[in-house]
Amino acid sequence: MPDRCVSKQALQRLPAYLNFLRNSGEQAGKYVSATAIAEALGINDVVVRKDLASVSSRGRPKVGYVRLELIRELECFLGYDNTQDAILVGAGKLGQALLSYSGFPQYGLNILAGFDSDPALVETEVAGKRILPMEKLPGLCRRVGVHIGIITVPGEHAQKVCDQLIDSGILAVWNFANAHLNVPEGILVQNENMAVSLALLSNHLKERFSTK
């Protein structure tokens, strides 16, 4: 039985493997080796082998892994096969973009509805999904058993919204707001932090220009 506990770094690489395997569909054969994945993604092959060992039951020496089987195992391990319902708070531009994104089911995420405090947005639809008033948040979450909340409100409202989500039974928060969120033990905050990305980009350019 594969190891259930992988390092956070490994967990971040697994989606890239899956993505590669999904996209290499047509021209690929029945089998795929860790070496091939490593080469395609520009990663050390031992890393890939070690990561796959904790996800897949068995790779066969000389042959590699059965491609479709490995895809299944990765999907299962990453939870993409077991779709989770989510709700989104903040139906502004970014919120609407996420509500409209059709790729989430592929990653096991289904956004049920959006919420917003702006009366002008309430009861409109975005990509077939209703925008509801904040008052209906706790009721819906509890009734349907939603555990994932997506925050796309301005930074200054993020903590307040986060508290409401947790009161409504949310266990994992996907935070697009540029704010640090304080949460009780056992609640996960996953920050999609653009400021961090920009810092890394900026740093690269700085180094690039200072050395050349």
What are the residues binding a copy of itself (CB under 8 A)?
4, 8, 11-12, 14-16, 18-20, 23, 40-42, 78-80, 82, 84, 93-94, 96-97, 100-101, 103-104, 107-109, 147-148, 155-156, 171-172, 174, 178-180, 182, 186, 188, 190, 192-206, 208, 210
166 binds, among DNA, a copy of itself, none (CB under 5 to 8 A by kind): none
How far apart (Å, rounded) are the C-alpha atoms in residues 108 and 196? 26
Could you list the beta-strand ranges (E) of the chain: 31-32, 65-66, 84-89, 109-116, 125-126, 129-133, 148-151, 172-175, 188-191
The reply on whether position 71 binds DNA by CB under 7 A is no
Quote the CA–CA distance of 113 and 144 in Å, as a whole number.
Answer: 12
Q: Is 77 in the site for DNA (CB under 7 A)?
A: no
Q: Between 2 and 108, whose beta carbon lies closer to DNA?
A: 2
Q: Does residue 203 bind DNA (CB under 7 A)?
A: no
Q: Angle formed by the axes of helices 67-78 and 8-23, to 10°?
A: 140
Site for DNA in 45-64 (CB under 7 A): 45-47, 49-50, 52-53, 56, 58-64
Edge-first strand listing for the sheet containing 172-175: 125-126, 129-133, 109-116, 84-89, 148-151, 172-175, 188-191
Picked from a copy of itself, DNA, none, the partner binding residue 53 (CB below 5 to 8 A depending on kind) is DNA
Binding at 109: pick from DNA, a copy of itself, none (beta carbon under 5-8 Å per type): a copy of itself
Q: How far apart are CA 200 and CA 204, in angstroms?
A: 6
Q: What would the two tokens of residue 26 be?
A: 């047509």
Task: Identify which of residues 81 and 123 has a Cβ nearer to a copy of itself in the complex.
Answer: 81
For residue 60, the 8-state DSSP code is B
Q: Residue with structure tokens 């009366």?
A: 119
Residues 6+ apart with CB under 8 A from 85: 110, 111, 112, 144, 145, 146, 147, 148
Region near DNA per CB under 7 A, out of 19-27, 38-46, 132-140, 198-206:
38-46
Considering the complex, what minimum distance in angstroms separates the CB of residue 123 from DNA?
A: 46
Q: Cβ of residue 59: shortest distance to DNA, in angstroms? A: 3
Q: Which residues bind DNA (CB under 7 A)?
A: 7-10, 33-35, 44-47, 49-50, 52-53, 56, 58-65
